[in-house]
């Protein structure tokens, strides 16, 4: 069974530029999560989808971050414009439904200079 796929693995951008991350969850998983992990901290939820609907985006900085999961399968997370403090690892995860065992991708390491 294929795992959660993310791309790119690494990205370096200048502040005020835009960037997009892509995630393809495990087939059949209705729930998709995007987490932000700052160095030395545990992951923090940015947004949770159930199929193509948003369940929780309370911690998503909506003035600069956006995410979509249009067909209820893969998802994109965008940052525009990026700030230095956005430097982090962005993790995508999926589960059969919310609260069940979650599986994570390899993450995208973003560096904003």
**Other beta carbons within 10 Å of 91:** 23
Query: Residue 71 Cβ, how far from other proteins at the closest point, in Å?
Result: 21
Query: Residue 16 Cβ, how far from other proteins at the closest point, in Å?
Result: 26
Query: Residue 14 Cβ, how far from other proteins at the closest point, in Å?
Result: 22
Q: Which residues here bind other proteins, judged by CB under 8 A?
A: 4, 6, 31, 33, 40-45, 48, 55-56, 89, 91, 93, 97-107, 109
SS3 call for 83: coil
Strands laid side by side in the 5-7 sheet:
5-7, 19-24, 75-79, 65-68
Of 81 and 106, the one with the shorter C-beta distance to other proteins is: 106
SS3 call for 35: strand
Cα–Cα distance between 29 and 36 in angstroms, integer?
20
Of 10 and 16, the one with the shorter C-beta distance to other proteins is: 10
Of 27 and 42, the one with the shorter C-beta distance to other proteins is: 42
């Amino acid at each position: 069974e294929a795992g959660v796929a993310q791309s790119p693995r690494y990205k370096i951008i200048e502040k005020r530029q835009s960037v997009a991350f892509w995630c393809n969850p495990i087939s059949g998983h209705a729930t998709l999560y995007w987490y932000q992990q700052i160095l030395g901290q545990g992951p923090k939820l940015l947004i949770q989808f159930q199929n193509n609907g948003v369940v929780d985006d309370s911690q998503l900085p909506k003035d600069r971050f956006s995410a979509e999961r249009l067909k209820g399968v893969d998802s994109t997370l965008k940052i525009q414009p990026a700030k230095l403090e956005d430097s982090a690892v962005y993790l995508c995860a999926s589960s059969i439904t919310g609260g069940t065992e979650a599986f994570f991708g390899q993450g995208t390491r973003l560096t904003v200079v």
